[in-house]
Chains A and B, each alone.
Chain A
Amino acid sequence: MRDESTRLALPAAGDATERPISIAIVAMGGQGGGVLTDWIVQLAEDQGWVAQSTSVPGVAQRTGATIYYIEAMPPLDGRKPVLALTPTPGDVDVVMAAEFMEAGRSILRGLVTPDRTTLIASDHRSFAIAEKIAPGNGIADQGAVTGAIGIAAKTEIVFDMNALAIAHGSVISAAMFGALAAAGVLPFNVESFRAVIRAGGKGANASLRTFDAALAQVQTGSFAAAAPEPAEATRPAPAPMEPGLAALVTRLKQQFPAPVQAMALAGLKKVIDFQDLAYGSEYLDLLDRLLAADRQCGGGDKAFAFTEAAAKYLANAMAYDDVIRVADLKTRAGRRARIANELELSQDSVLQTTEFMHPRMEEVIGMLPARLGRWLGGKPRLVGWLDRRVSKGRRVRTYSLPWFLALYAVGGFRGLRRATLRHAVETAHRDEWLAAATAAVRSNYQLGVEILQCRRLVKGYSDTHGRGLSKFDRTLAAIKLIERREDAADWARRLREAALKDSAGTELDGVIRTIKSFA
């Protein structure tokens, strides 16, 4: 570029060099972005402005991410402005995001810049498919979006507009329109916003309520959820603890160091709920042994991380998912109450539920006394013959008497659980795992913790459970290969994280191959 260019003066074209107000709405298909767009266009046109909106419905309409774009400006001496069809990064006045990750995406597209953009975003989440299909926790980190908003936006209005809309019986577009009115970036008074909604007719009242609630929430600066929390007082005071339980709790408080008490208490609750007080006592015995090993290895300096991990995963291991537990959970009184509550069931309607169960011979064998179960397990042809009779999808009408009685009866097998084959198998597996962790913690504290955490891989029912177990076994076997290395704990963590990435275990196999290449 030649030097002279910077010295030449270009006469300003006056007011006319002003650009239109530009608004980008980033949403997912089906979120009502089109309605919001129409409202804003109508609002501008009502004030005598020229407004143009564009969108790309296409395939994005089916839950994909999409952008609606609006430009508006008053005409000049009867001349219409020429309005652009796409947002220009760095030149957007208002970005409205109908979902929190979409707010993040709008920042990545450069639509939000600190010199001009007001970002109006709902911070509720609608998870993307990639977040949902991970066998572990695939949910994206909201904090990253919050952090980026702080950098990118000139002004931010962020709250759960979806919850607010639902609380007022409307949809998110009405709440966002209210937030836009409150933001004060459009030179139109609030009444003109309301007029647009009113002209829309259908559902206008609910929309107006939502609009006003959102407006008030932004203006008062309190972005709290709209619906008041149910008063604490309505909850009945807890019944006094029975002596057996109280004794266990006292023991827990006396024996275990403060940092692990909360987790141990949660664990204790879970195993007692699963079985009985004696099982709770067994839990504390096991945990006590692990605590002793923890102390020997200097766990005191490490906030007893080993014991805390044990308190968590031991409880999960002991409260394994068997048929008895499922039947018990499905027949509890609280369960029906919860469903009725979720459905907002009215007094004069009747609720029935249907369970989709598919018991297989494996589950039946698991419920048999250990010796009988083992014997039968050794007869594959007989098992196959039986399985063809047992294994089929069963629609269980939970609250019809015959089905309820059947489930209730299965739930009642709790007393016999300790004698079952499944219990024997689970106990053996559990002890082996604890032994491995205890051995590891003596030479490498963090590795011991990691091994405990590998229990997270075991979950699900039937085939899924089988896959989880196999991942668990492969992970522990791979850890064995590198247990003497200084960075063994890091590798153990990598293995576990890889195992939770995909269901087939492809990533896990990759890490195992890497380990084998140097171990």
Chain B
Amino acid sequence: MAERSFAREVEDLRLGHGDTFRGEGILAITKALLQSGVAYVGGYQGSPISHLMDVLADAKDVLDELGVVFQSSANEAAAAAMLSASVMYPLRGAVAWKSTVGTNVASDALANLASGGVTGGTMIIVGEDYGEGSSIMQERTHAFAMKSQMWLLDPRPDHECIVNLIEKGFELSEYSNTPVMLEVRVRACHMHGSFVCKDNLKPRHTIKDALNNPKRDVNRIVLPPAAYEHEQEKIKTRMPAAIRFVHENRLNEQFGPKQGKVGIIMQGGMYNNVIRALQYLGLSDAYGNTQVPLYVMNVTYPVIDSEVAEFCLDKEAVLIVEEGQPEYLEQAINTVLRRKDIQARIHGKDVLPMGGDYTAQVLLGGVRDFLERCEPRLLGNRPPAPDATPVLNHPAVERLKQVVPARPPGLCTGCPERPIFAAMKLVEEELGQHHVSADIGCHLFSILPPFNIGATTMGFGLGPASTSAFNVKADKRAIAVMGDGGFWHNGLTSGIGNAVFNKHDGVFVIVDNYYTSATGGQDILSSRATNTRRKTNNSIVQAVKGIGGQWVRQIDRTYDVGRMRDTLKEALTTKAEGPKVIVASSECMLNKQRRVRPQINKAIKDGVRTVKERFGVDEDVCTGDHACIRLSGCPSLSVKQLDDPLRDDPVAAIDNSCVGCGNCGEVAEAAVLCPSFYRADVIHNPTRWDRFKSKLSMAVIGWLQQRRDRKRPVLEALA
């Protein structure tokens, strides 16, 4: 494993009836799954649900006690396909991934699953990575729920509500024979809160039971004519059942007065910020005591027509608060009202922005506009709403805009991917710019300064596939980059396999750092650590060769910038046909430090001879050109102003976060930069021989130094 323990979090999973859970939203979800009696869980890690996968991976004992099967899935499609276990058997199962990217990958399996329907309750937890801080394209999971007819839960950001909805969601799934999706936004996933626990439930039907008593039913398989039947069944049976269940169990909530001229309908996830906006307008207190009727859709698909109609019946106008676009709910509710001839006017994206986060500030503006148009009397004597514009318009703050630098994410201190991109920059200087297809993973940061490498990114593991068009003889070859995570996710087949098959002439760099590092350092097939629960140490090089790759180079120390550069150059210029594959491997430094640092500290304490390495810069040799930083971007390689009136520009400096990876020196050497870098090796607990050698040479060196110093004019007196 990634040497990071989730032991404390695992303890939270053991909490029983009446205990109070305090912690992160995503952990509350994990606990809720166990309280629901799941028989199996799976998924693919990625923000914001990585934590769920990590904790489950470390929770073997808890899961074993309950008889729950946990599988880490190769990708989201594999995770979705795993849910097929609930098609024939009354097994409750859940999978989790980052959406919408993961849902994109999974959608084939999801569509098949939704068509045939399920017997056991199935739940797909999607971490809706939308809005500020998101790392992906801005889209909504809602469309997937609608097109495949899966029910979409969007609970209020409140642990109790989320946990309750998960438990109810499994029932809903079973009652309507339909998979259910639970959408949790990034901030709700990482939200600290609390709820009162129930005991964990052992699954009523286990995987073992199912294996021992196999069942099949042709009518549940997506094959004509069953597939046509499924569509009718979805419309005529499953949807009405779901609507009945949601309505009878009051999964959607109403707050505030029953009647009113106006009201607000919202996705559950919007509730907290809506309350805050109402509070700013003097229409609610901090405890949700609202003066405006609210209809909170904890289930955003299907829309419960009767509830919407009842809510709107006496209102003159209703505001729909629905984050993201298109405005599916607004359209659906308009249809409901038109069909039932209810006259309430619907507002939504006319007063609220079509795209982007619905923060309390944005909602404040939208709700105020809505009320000013439809019921200004409600606004009454408005308390002053928070407003930062006077400050923002102040010249001193305006000036700040030009000063505060952007701070994009970058590779960590000592990252083994840095020398790969430094080498690519060096090759670029020699052979000119090339078309580079980038991929998802830490290495994507190479598209940002200082590297500025990479033209496109098309999806996890699709870096190589996205160079497939560039398969013609030209003066330059295309370069594709992909990580080990992407490689095992799908890149082996979609990228390398296809390049072999199509005799692609490009260069394929596989960045292997022993983990899926960008998602938190999970183990994968090629991880080098021994993992008692999985089979690791499966070679990427062998996989590439096994699939037909012929020109394959393994570089087992990426910090060797010179070799990296020469190998890249060879790949770009060789006459060899077919894909040129370079596997560049070194352990993720974040994970390595987690593993190695305690070992080193212990060794030093125990009196074992240990060499600690760190880099430094001779500031009087450095000329302050910063060419080294332009080829590195290491957080520990920075600049400092010298107290010297003769120097205008700051010099390079290495701070004590340096892990001695060697990149600085290797780059300085390979790029012929300057001789100001040095590596300091400190031998802790030196042997007698170390001491003797050092003493002897330092005696001679000291004598020589004194000899020369005597000849030098003493300049200290010159202030």
One digit per residue, 1 when the CB lies within 8 angstroms of any chain B CB and 0 when it does not, for chain A 27-63 equals 0111000000110010001000001111111111111
Query: In the complex, which of the residues A63, A244, A398, A459 contacts B407, with contact meaning CB atoms closer than 8 Å?
Result: A63
Known: A56-B133, A113-B391. A88 touches B276 (CB 8 A): yes
Query: Is B641's beta carbon under 8 Å from chain A?
Result: yes
A30–B627 Cα distance when bound, in Å, is: 26
Given contacts A88-B386, A89-B386, A356-B679, 11 further A-B contacts (CB under 8 A): A28-B407, A148-B396, A152-B397, A330-B621, A335-B618, A342-B616, A349-B683, A354-B678, A399-B694, A459-B624, A462-B673
609-658 of chain B: CB within 8 A of chain A:
614, 616, 618, 620-621, 623-627, 629-630, 633, 635, 637-639, 641, 644-646, 648-650
Residue from B188, B672, B708 within 8 A of A462 (CB atoms): B672
Contacts A54-B190, A82-B286, A86-B273 known; A241 to B717 CB distance under 8 Å?
yes
Answer whether A360 and B672 are a contact pair too, CB < 8 Å, given A52-B191, A54-B187, A355-B678: yes
Indicate whether A127 sits within 8 Å of B639 (C-beta atoms), given known contacts A58-B134, A65-B407, A358-B668: yes
Cross-chain pairs A/B with CB under 8 angstroms, 30 sampled:
A17-B286, A57-B48, A59-B518, A82-B287, A85-B188, A86-B132, A86-B187, A90-B391, A108-B397, A129-B410, A129-B449, A130-B406, A132-B626, A137-B641, A152-B394, A241-B714, A245-B718, A326-B675, A331-B704, A332-B705, A349-B686, A351-B682, A355-B678, A399-B701, A408-B708, A456-B648, A461-B672, A461-B673, A462-B673, A464-B623
Asked if A239 contacts B717 (CB within 8 A), the reply is: yes
Minimum distance in angstroms from A449 CB to a CB of chain B? 14
A139-B641 contact in complex given A53-B192, A107-B391, C-beta closer than 8 Å: yes
In the complex, whether B377 has a CB less than 8 A from a CB of chain A is yes
B618 touches A128 (CB 8 A): no
Size bracket of the B interface: 35 or more
B289 interfacial by beta-carbon distance below 8 Å: yes
By beta carbon, the residue of chain B nearest A344 is B656
A505 at the interface (CB under 8 A from B): no
Query: A240 in the interface, Cβ–Cβ < 8 Å?
Result: yes
Q: How far is the CA of A148 from the CA of B674 in the complex (A)?
A: 39
Beta-carbon contact of A144 and B629 below 8 Å: no
A250, chain B: closest CB distance, angstroms: 12
Note all chain A residues with C-beta closer than 8 A to B412. Answer: 30, 62-63
Contact assessment for B697 and A404 in the assembled complex, using a CB-CB cutoff below 8 Å: yes
Give the chain A neighbours of B355 by CB distance below 8 A: none
Given contacts A129-B633, A354-B679, contact A137 B674 (CB under 8 A): no
In the bound assembly, the distance between CA atoms of A83 and B287 in angstroms comes to 9
Could you say which residues of chain B place their CB within 8 Å of the CB of A54? 187-188, 190-192
Q: Is the CB of B697 within 8 A of A333?
A: no
Query: Chain A interface mostly helix, strand, loop or mixed?
Result: mixed
- Specify the chain B residue showing the minimal Cβ separation from A42: B22
In chain A, what residue has the closest Cβ to B269? A85
Residue with the greatest number of chain A CB neighbours at <10 A, chosen from B407, B442, B712: B407
B400 surroundings in chain A (CB, below 8 A)? 104, 107-108, 144-145, 148
The yes or no answer to A315 lying at the interface (CB within 8 A) is yes
A134 with B626: in contact, given A63-B407, A82-B286, A266-B645 (CB under 8 Å)? yes
Task: Pick the contact of B403: A76, A104, A462, A464 (CB < 8 A).
Answer: A104
B residues with a Cβ closer than 8 A to A are 22, 47-48, 129, 132-135, 157-158, 186-188, 190-193, 271-273, 275-276, 279-280, 282, 285-289, 357, 359-361, 364, 372, 376-377, 379-383, 385-389, 391-392, 394, 396-397, 399-401, 403-412, 442, 445, 448-450, 518, 562, 614, 616, 618, 620-621, 623-627, 629-630, 633, 635, 637-639, 641, 644-646, 648-650, 664-666, 668-675, 677-686, 690-691, 694, 697-698, 700-702, 704-706, 708-709, 712-719
* Most chain B CB atoms below 10 A, which of A84, A102, A267: A84
Interface mask (A1-42 → B, CB under 8 Å = 1, otherwise 0): 110111011100100111110000000111000000110010
- With A63-B412, A140-B404 given, is the CB distance from A82 to B675 under 8 Å? no
Quick one: closest A residue to B450, CB to CB? A133
Picked from A262, A273, A411, the residue with its CB within 8 Å of the CB of B708 is: A411
Closest to A53 in B: B192
A316 at the interface (CB under 8 A from B): yes
Tally of contacts, chain A with chain B, CB under 8 A: 430
Determine if A62 and B409 form an interchain contact, defined as CB atoms under 8 angstroms apart. Answer: yes
Contacts of A326 in B (CB 8 A): 621, 675
| In the bound complex, CA of A13 to CA of B383 (Å) | 12
Known contacts A84-B360, A114-B391, A132-B626; A1/B633 CB under 8 A? no
**Is A277 an interface residue, CB under 8 A from the partner?**
yes
Indicate whether A136 reaches chain B with its CB closer than 8 angstroms: yes
Q: In the docked arrangement, what's the CA distance between A360 and B408, Å?
A: 37
Contact status of A88 and B665, CB under 8 A, knowing A13-B285, A17-B285, A348-B685: no
> Which positions 73-114 of chain A face chain B at CB distance < 8 Å?
73, 76, 79-86, 88-91, 101-102, 104-105, 107-108, 110-114
Which chain B residues border A129 with CB–CB below 8 Å?
A: 407-408, 410, 448-450, 629, 633
List of 3 A-B pairs having minimum Cβ-Cβ separation, nearest first: A110-B388, A56-B133, A90-B386
Chain A residues lying within 8 Å of B187, measured Cβ to Cβ, are: 54-56, 85-86
The answer to whether A270 and B646 touch across the interface, beta carbons within 8 angstroms, is yes
- Known interface pairs A17-B286, A269-B715, A312-B646. Does A113 touch B388 (Cβ–Cβ under 8 Å)? yes
A321 closest partner in B (C-beta): B623
> Interface size (A, Cβ < 8 Å)?
152
A316 to B403, CA, bound (A): 30
Does A345 interact with chain B (Cβ within 8 Å)?
Answer: yes
The reply to whether A269 and B718 form a contact with Cβ atoms under 8 Å apart is yes
The reply to whether B669 and A139 form a contact with Cβ atoms under 8 Å apart is: no
The answer to the question of A498 belonging to the interface, with a C-beta cut-off of 8 Å to chain B, is: no
By the criterion CB–CB under 8 Å, are B22 and A151 in contact? no
Does residue A393 face the partner (Cβ distance < 8 Å to B)?
yes
